[in-house]
Structure 1
Amino acid sequence: MAGSDAENRSGDEEPEKHKEESEDARGSGGDENQDEEQQGGPPAPVGFWHPKLNHVRKEAMTKWTITTAFLMAFILAVLSIYWGALYHVEKNISSLVIYVVDMDGQTAPYNTNGHEPIVGPLITNLARTMVASETPTLGWGVVSGADFGYDPMQVRQAVYNWDAWASIVINPNATAMLYSALENGNTSYDPMGACQLTYIDSRDDTNWYDFMSPIISAFMTEATTKVGQEWTSMVMQNATTDAALVRNAARVPQALSPAIGFSQYNLRPFYPYQIIPSVSIGLIYLIIVSFFSFAFYLPIHFKYLKPEGHPPLKFYQLVIWRWCATISAYFMLSLAYSFVSLAFQINFSGGNPVTSETQVTWTVDGYTNPDGWGNATFPVYWMLNFFGMIALGLACENVAMIVGQPWTGLWLIFWVITNVSTAFYDIDIEPHFYYWGYAWPLHYVVEGSRQILFGLHNRLGLDFGVLIAWGAVNSVLFPFCCYFMRWKSKHHVHEYYK
């Protein structure tokens, strides 16, 4: 009995001892972690400044600093590409050529009526003065009317063919009609018949409204003023000896003020306005959709490699499947993208009464944009988006397989910015650094979209050619990138278990 009591007391004292040790352990986090580690359990959480996290804090702060510095440098470098696109517009704006074609008094019967031309020489001299000045201005090019057979329609054709961004034509009868108005009292005289401005704002609405229109408007205002001053001074001098001039001037005051004007012909207006996303910001989503489709389809492709109740597919056949599946996906996704423009009633079905390249498109009576291919316009537009998605998307697929996460996000930013900088702005007015943009795919998607939707000068052969070349090169690289991704995946697994 005594021995039994002693054992019981010993058993009671032992739990008390363990209880005290447990309480002591809770007073020291390090001892508790040691006990739990010895028992095989996970270590308990500790405070941020715990001594055992010293090396972790040092490593984390070092990597945080390096990562932040790298991202800052990336932002400065890549975003500067976009900001710098229009950095030297004033310097390069002369690349936007404007024809000034003087036909005033150059052909019969206006070159034999005994009146020296006034309007043409004054306007061409003004153009030469602007070019010679130190003020940044457009590329005013004085061209002889003989180069166009003294036919204003041929000048319009040159603008349509993108030989110039716009043209100012001084009509053959500009000065003759002024003399006729005052000598004969012609009350039907219209100053707007003296000169004509031709342009196409849908070729590049940013160029036209931001850079060209303000300067051309100022040019026409100054030209009207100069001609008005010179002409009125001549009339007043002759009126001192010819009373008929005074009577006729009273009947035809528009022959003195403003004397001349400029009829304006926008051959292909930028209309309807819902086209704006189709040729600008909306195309960014063509890049984004093609980029993110990679992550959506990759798990589907890998099902062929996981032996879950079936043998894995040979890898080279998986590569073929992936390429075919990717191109097929682009085929359908580009159709969905194209349907958006169709849903918002952009004209794809023909019917605009104006088909002439030198006449202004009708945008009244329910008519909108002139499609470039009649009833085949939508299929052509779809195919442009399809090949554009191949060019943009396969590049994303290849880069994603090479660099992996998280670098693919930086690639997307780089890819969007470099394409947008050289597609939404005219490369001719950008610094020469941006001339690589002539090889980038989105530039040709934008250009082709404008040609299709506005019936512009046709360069679709070039546009499709560049996009197909991008697709071909990336298709050749595609299997190599697939094999590299497999090698990298196996290498990382080996390193993990090493």
Structure 2
Amino acid sequence: MDNGTIAARRVWLKISLVAVGLLIFIIFAILSIYWAALGRSSGNIHNLSGYVVDFDGEQIGQTVTQAFSNLHGNKQLSWLVKNASEFPNGPPDVQAALVDHRCWVAVTVNPGATSNLIAAINKTDATYNTSQAISAYLTDARNEAAYRIIITPMVNAILTNITQTLGLAFAGELASNPNLPNLMHTAPSLVTLSVNYAVYDLRPFDVPVASAVDYVGLIYLMILANHLLVANAQSGLARRLTLTSLIVVRLLWPFTLYFFISLMYCLLSLAFGVPFSRYYGGAGFLIYWMMSWMAMAALHVSSQSMITLLTLKFVPVFLVLWIIVNVSVAYYPIEVLPIIFRYGYAMPFYNVSNTVRTVVFNTKNQIGLNFGVQFAWIAVSCITLPIFQWLVRRREVQAWHQSQVKEGE
């Protein structure tokens, strides 16, 4: 074996070992961020609040409020028993508070719940709907994962337990009622299930394909936004332009390209049935298109700044980090994640997701804030990229001068 082959093998082995070390670093230092976002959420459920409002004021209302008042712990929602006087228009005001994101779930004991039940028993009213007593209100589209995995099962379990307790209490009272045989024959539900509840989803997540644009598709948005990074870096154009021209190209060219790419991306979602016009008419699609455009620009220009410093050799590490820190805050509510994940409110993914939910599901409108975050990322990159590019160009010029000196010697 000749010396050249031996030397080549040494270089190959060195590169392989460095690559393995870098991958191990990515696994434990970067991927662990996403694992932590999913694995540490159960201990912070108490950061999600729920309202309990008693509009009844009698036996059913008192039992329900007392039961929720006894629920505590980090793995339990923080139940806030609200005075009915805070909601002068009754349950509709509670629903409005939920839609306004003042809480994550609301439970109301409806007006006259106890008296209506007693009246139905006295009249042997077979038409009485026992689920009118208690109502639970959700907004699933606010974060479908949180409701599916955490909130909805918890609310159902609590209310099932409460209604069973109330049912036993009323059944015990009915045991001595001489009208019991007639009740069992005519209106058995008044005896066997005298108190029940109904769940109302005010903002249902009823468009499954929307997952492609409010969570999973955000990863593709990132990939599309950074697809041109390597191509631009490998073009060799950087060394043929003046510093000013190079900065202008790196800042303005992506905005032009992603104006059209983002349109194609949005049209794909429209073609597969995402109803952007449900609540904002034709403006809904335009809002989503502009948000996708700004998000692509924010993601790309930020990466553009970093590739200037890190070069192609290390930019993959940054891109993995950039994806992970964005994805980690887009699945569960930030409130249930460890406190370090509060950075998520300022992440492009989180704000794109919020805009999608507002446009498609009519959740709380914070579109102005969502656009503001994207503009902030673009503005920061417009400051940092010229600085980084100037530093790199200065380093390249110094290296060139040194090489000229050596050639002259």
| TM-score w.r.t. length of structure 1 | 0.76
What is the CA distance between 1:469 and its match in structure 2?
0.9
CA distance in structure 2 between the aligned counterparts of 1:423 and 1:466, rounded to whole angstroms: 15
What is the CA distance between 1:77 and its match in structure 2?
0.8
What is the CA distance between 1:194 and its match in structure 2?
0.9
SS of 1:265's equivalent?
strand
**Aligned equivalent of 1:444:** 351
**Aligned equivalent of 2:98:** 159
What is the CA distance between 1:156 and its match in structure 2?
0.4
CA distance in structure 1 between the aligned counterparts of 2:231 and 2:74, rounded to whole angstroms: 54
What is the CA distance between 1:297 and its match in structure 2?
4.1
* Correspondent of 1:219 among 158, 178, 181: 158
Supply the AA of the counterpart residue of 1:440. M
Query: Contact 1:183 / 1:245 at 8 angstroms: preserved in 2?
Result: no
How many pairs were matched up? 405
1:175 aligns to 2:103 (yes or no): no
* Correspondent of 2:293 among 386, 390, 405: 386
**Cα distance per residue 1:439-469 (max 9 Å; x no partner):** 2221111111111111111111211111111
**Aligned equivalent of 2:362:** 455
What is the CA distance between 1:179 and its match in structure 2?
0.4
**Aligned equivalent of 1:9:** none
Query: Contact 2:52 / 2:65 at 8 angstroms: preserved in 1?
Result: yes
Residues 255-294 of structure 1 aligned to structure 2 (within 5 Å) = 255-294=190-229
1:194 aligns to 2:141 (yes or no): no
1:296 aligns to 2:227 (yes or no): no
Residues 51-70 of structure 1 aligned to structure 2 (within 5 Å) = 61=13, 64-70=16-22
Query: Contact 1:183 / 1:248 at 8 angstroms: preserved in 2?
Result: no
Q: Aligned residues: percent identity?
A: 28
SS of 1:256's equivalent?
helix
**Aligned equivalent of 1:319:** 247
Query: Contact 2:56 / 2:110 at 8 angstroms: preserved in 1?
Result: yes
Residues 32-431 of structure 1 aligned to structure 2 (within 5 Å) = 47=1, 61=13, 64-105=16-57, 117-131=58-72, 136-149=75-88, 151-237=90-176, 239=177, 243-298=178-233, 302=237, 306=240, 314-349=242-277, 370-371=278-279, 373-431=280-338
CA distance in structure 2 between the aligned counterparts of 1:207 and 1:335, rounded to whole angstroms: 30
Query: Contact 1:227 / 1:260 at 8 angstroms: preserved in 2?
Result: yes
For structure 2, the residue ranges without an aligned partner over 5 or more in a row are none
Aligned-residue Cα RMSD (Å) equals: 2.4
Query: Contact 1:87 / 1:431 at 8 angstroms: preserved in 2?
Result: no
Moved more, 317-326 or 140-149: 317-326
Moved more, 121-130 or 160-169: 121-130
Supply the AA of the counterpart residue of 1:95. N
Supply the AA of the counterpart residue of 1:130. L
SS of 2:193's equivalent?
coil
Query: Contact 2:46 / 2:74 at 8 angstroms: preserved in 1?
Result: no
Query: Contact 1:191 / 1:261 at 8 angstroms: preserved in 2?
Result: yes
SS of 1:189's equivalent?
coil
Supply the AA of the counterpart residue of 1:192. S
Residues 175 and 327 of structure 1: CA distance in aligned 2, closer, same or farther (over 3 Å): same
What is the CA distance between 1:248 and its match in structure 2?
3.5
SS of 1:100's equivalent?
strand
Query: Contact 1:181 / 1:252 at 8 angstroms: preserved in 2?
Result: no
Supply the AA of the counterpart residue of 1:480. I
Supply the AA of the counterpart residue of 2:152. S
**Aligned equivalent of 1:352:** none
**Aligned equivalent of 1:14:** none
Supply the AA of the counterpart residue of 1:412. L
Residues 135 and 232 of structure 1: CA distance in aligned 2, closer, same or farther (over 3 Å): farther
**Cα distance per residue 1:180-204 (max 9 Å; x no partner):** 1111122210011111111111100
Residues 301 and 425 of structure 1: CA distance in aligned 2, closer, same or farther (over 3 Å): farther
What is the CA distance between 1:235 and its match in structure 2?
1.6
1:434 aligns to 2:311 (yes or no): no
CA distance in structure 1 between the aligned counterparts of 2:223 and 2:74, rounded to whole angstroms: 41
What is the CA distance between 1:298 and its match in structure 2?
4.9
Higher relative contact order (CA 8 A, sep 6+): 2
Query: Contact 2:34 / 2:324 at 8 angstroms: preserved in 1?
Result: yes
**Cα distance per residue 1:186-223 (max 9 Å; x no partner):** 22100111111111111000000011111111112101
Residues 93 and 252 of structure 1: CA distance in aligned 2, closer, same or farther (over 3 Å): same
Residues 321 and 73 of structure 1: CA distance in aligned 2, closer, same or farther (over 3 Å): closer
What is the CA distance between 1:484 and its match in structure 2?
3.2
What is the CA distance between 1:477 and its match in structure 2?
1.7
CA distance in structure 1 between the aligned counterparts of 2:216 and 2:132, rounded to whole angstroms: 39
* Correspondent of 2:374 among 467, 476, 480: 467
Moved more, 429-438 or 293-302: 293-302
CA distance in structure 2 between the aligned counterparts of 1:480 and 1:233, rounded to whole angstroms: 78
